[in-house]
Copies of this chain bind each other. A is one copy, B any other.
């Protein structure tokens, strides 16, 4: 039975939840396929996540391997293929809780970097899981800065082999997933040396464990790097190479080849490589970043209409905590952000698909823009969503802090997205570099990519808003965001120029501007996110209340951003203090409006109770019962040796019932 405090929230929805779900999925047919996949996975006990919060790291790893192996059978059984429409929903349905993800990266790297012969040899073996692959790039001492990697691969013409070594401890491979315990093979990135000359970083296929008994191969030291904040199910590993010999054929050689005599040959364009990073950064947004935020919002919003605490008015019943303005101000902007970034993701996907088509026609013109946008948005979205999940967790008070709420795991997992696939600050600086370049070009009258043409149009006007309702006009707020982005970019460009002209070396000058460059890059992405949301709303169907509620969320997303960052808008007087008070008023008004639809808005994300795996957030709102039921199953309710060992000797002197 549904808790009436939750049930009543659903009766007043201003829009059709089912239609909004279809919009998020990209059509009702997609919704149907997704639900079928989720059903199939969740009804299979092998994929169960029950009791997950009670498992040790070892148990989590074992379960993830079990699921990965079972998934192959399941796909076969269900007729799902890697190119089928179901495929993209599988990972989400498993909540990512499965091994051998790096096996897929291993395969992709061979497909992209390998020669046709190499592809023909390795891909079928990998596809049939006759080996388990990993991808060994990061080292103890080097992450983002690939050129600094220290592992070496020396070509030995005599034996036609590469000799791989870890010259010092900081060169040890560290972090690769699936490598700590599972992998038999890995792609190792190493500095290539031929006849004493270094040719830079290249990829090599290296076998690390025996296919017979899984023992480590000669010269290999490998293991698991131990506990992490999350990802207990993944065996992130370390790898130390000591004179490991591999055949010449094991260097992935689509772009570079070493001939038998040691001649180094570079062939084709490597620009496509550059594109791979972009692909990964865009592809992680939906599953690794948006889904956790949407889950956190679902949990926190549902809990906030079931939890009652204190009285808003004396004499009345205790109030639902979502009726407090401060609680609304915590949660509703996160909900708006989840929708805003969902649409940004659509935008990036579309841009990416266009870019991909161009690249296949050997036109690489879109790459810089695509790289800048994917880097910037990877950083901005992961940062924003991580903060959002944390806000949801804290907004649930003590119960949010229990693992059984599901929120701690969502938080500790999404946090990693700020670090992996490019550390966020470094990515933002790459976006900033692009912005500065484009700003200079635009100022000089040269053409620039579409997303940055606005930089050319530096206007010194004022915000025309006259009353608080004007701030519900997308033109008004989008232009304000644009103004800020232009100002931050142009001011930082000017500072950079000034420093250089005053004699500061170029690299020092850049370093002295980086805090402000990061601000400019964020403002650029924020502007595009707002603009994109507004444009998306414009095109939505007006039926079933969809456009109306999305317009509210778009306004909230935009005004929350201004309210949280007033200085950027006030700085040069574009927005006046009086206008800022209007923003605040409109923003706070909106909270009360959207609060009414809060539950339907999270229901539209369409998570099953099993996928939420939360004692606070399930669709029936029976929070307290579930917390109690789940807690009783905890291993901490088994007998502890602490009683016999320590407590009994203390207490046995107490004579009787006191």
Chain A interface (Cβ < 8 Å from any Cβ of B): 53-54, 56-58, 61-62, 65-66, 68-69, 125, 128-132, 138, 140-145, 148, 169-170, 172, 174-175, 180-182, 184-185, 207, 210-211, 214, 223-229, 235, 238, 307-310, 312-314, 318, 323-327, 329-330, 390, 394, 397-398, 400-404, 408, 412, 415-416, 418-420, 423, 425, 429, 505, 507-508, 511-516, 518, 565-573, 577, 580, 584, 588, 624-625, 627-628, 630-638, 640-643, 645-648, 650-651, 653-654, 656-658
Give the 8 A-B CB pairs with smallest separation, nearest first: A566-B567, A226-B634, A567-B567, A227-B403, A224-B636, A130-B654, A229-B408, A65-B642
A-B contact pairs, 5 of them (CB 8 A): A144-B397, A184-B651, A226-B403, A226-B636, A326-B514
In the bound complex, CA of A469 to CA of B250 (Å) = 61
The answer to whether A646 and B403 touch across the interface, beta carbons within 8 angstroms, is no
Q: A211-B654, A227-B634, A404-B227 are known contacts. Are A425 and B577 too (CB-CB below 8 A)? A: no
Secondary structure type dominating chain A contacts? helix
Q: Which residues of B contact A174 (CB under 8 A)?
A: 398, 627
Docked pose: A129 CA to B332 CA in angstroms: 49
Contact status B54-A227, CB under 8 Å: yes
Q: Which chain B residues lie closer than 8 Å to A630 at the CB level?
A: 226
Residues A647 and B507 in contact, CB atoms below 8 Å apart:
no
Decide: A226 and B57 in contact? CB cutoff 8 A.
no
Check A397 against B412 for contact (C-beta < 8 Å).
Answer: no
Sample of 11 further A-B pairs with CB below 8 A, known A69-B650, A225-B634: A141-B624, A181-B640, A181-B642, A214-B648, A226-B631, A235-B636, A313-B505, A325-B515, A412-B412, A565-B567, A571-B577
Q: Is the CB of A515 within 8 A of B636?
A: no
Contact A638 B58 (CB under 8 A): yes
Cβ-defined contact, B61 with A310, below 8 A: no
Q: Which residue of B lies closest to A562 (CB)?
A: B567
Contacts A402-B225, A634-B224, A657-B207 given; does A429 touch B309 at CB 8 Å: no
Of chain B, the residue at the smallest CB distance from A229 is: B408
A131 touches B181 (CB 8 A): no
Residues of B within 8 A of A641 (CB): 62
Known contacts A65-B646, A145-B310; A58 and B125 CB within 8 A of each other: no
Residue of B nearest to A396 (CB): B419
Q: Which of the listed residues A518, A627, A631 has the most CB atoms from chain B within 10 Å of its own CB?
A: A631
Which residues of the partner chain B approach A404 to less than 8 Å between Cβ atoms? 226-227
Q: Are B658 and A125 in contact, with the CB atoms below 8 A?
A: yes
Complex alpha-carbon distance, A88 and B228, angstroms? 32
CA distance A141 to B227 in the complex (A): 34
Interchain CA distance A311-B511 in the complex, whole Å = 11
Residues of chain B within 8 A (CB-CB) of A318 are 145, 148
For the complex formed, measure the closest distance between the CB of A4 and the CB atoms of chain B, giving whole angstroms: 14
A650 to B70, CA, bound (A): 11
Contact of A627 among B54, B140, B207, B640 (CB under 8 A): B140
CB distance from A436 to the nearest CB of B (A): 16
Contact of A182 among B66, B223, B647 (CB under 8 A): B647
Q: Are A170 and B624 in contact (CB under 8 A)?
A: yes
Using Cβ atoms and an 8 Å threshold, which residues of chain B touch A429? 326
B148 and A310 within 8 A (CB): yes
Known: A397-B143, A398-B419. A645 touches B181 (CB 8 A): no
A631 x B224 contact (CB < 8 A): yes
| Bound CA span A148–B390, Å | 27
Q: Which residues of the partner chain B approach A224 to less than 8 Å between Cβ atoms?
A: 631, 634, 636-637
A401 to chain B: which residues have CB within 8 Å?
228-229, 415-416, 419
User: Does B132 lie within 8 Å of A651, measured CB to CB?
Assistant: yes
* Minimum distance in angstroms from A41 CB to a CB of chain B: 18
On whether the beta carbons of B403 and A229 are closer than 8 Å, the reply is: yes
Contact A645 B142 (CB under 8 A): no
Cα distance A640–B56 in the bound complex, in angstroms: 12
Bound Cα distance A404, B148 (Å): 24
**Please, which residues of chain B bring their CB within 8 A of the CB of A415?**
394, 401
Residues of B within 8 A of A65 (CB): 640, 642, 646-647
User: Chain B residues near A518 (CB, 8 Å)?
Assistant: 326
Q: Which of B56, B130, B238, B408 contacts A651 (CB 8 A)?
A: B130
